[in-house]
Amino acid sequence: MFLKDLYRKVGWPLYRKYGHAYDAFKLALTGQADPFEELEVSDDLKRQITSYIQRRLAPQPVKVRSDIEVTCFSELGVDTIRAALLAGEACSTELCPVQVRLVAPPRYVMTTMTLDKEAGRDTLIAATEAIRAHLDANGG
């Protein structure tokens, strides 16, 4: 099938119905609607287009980062900091795993890789609050 035929059978009808073919492709990707059901194309072509859309429009993971400073001047300072950072890592979820790394004392960096930027941000905020709560409870 030539590109001109593909546009005539798929592209232009999607533009007329959805305003832009990209919007129709996003609907097909999320499964909210089947933009190809009214088109006169073969099932094989629909399957090929759908697999191409899934590859090309798949969401890309984003890295969310938070720089924090952690200090504790009590007798158990280092152990308290270590336990607090582990409490922050315990806020990890399957979709937003939290990692804490030392930059240079007292600076640490928390990161997560996720498909949902807002969920990653919320997870890092929860981890920061868990670290703060642990330090406050133990004299940090």
Q: Quick one: angle between helices 21-30 and 43-56, nearest 10?
A: 90
Closest C-alpha to 106, from 64, 65, 139, 73 = 73
Per the listing, tokens 């798949």 go with: 58
E strand residue ranges, 16-139: 62-69, 99-104, 107-114
- 60 — pLDDT class (breaks 50, 70, 90): confident
pLDDT of residue 38: 86
Complete domains list, the chain, with CATH: 3-56 (no CATH), 62-137 (3.30.70.1130)
Question: pLDDT tens across 1-52, in order?
Answer: 688 988 999 999 999 999 998 888 888 887 778 888 888 888 898 899 989 9
Residue 104 has pLDDT above 90, yes or no: yes
Spatial strand order of the sheet with 62-69 comes to 62-69, 107-114, 99-104
Q: What is the pTM of this model?
A: 0.69
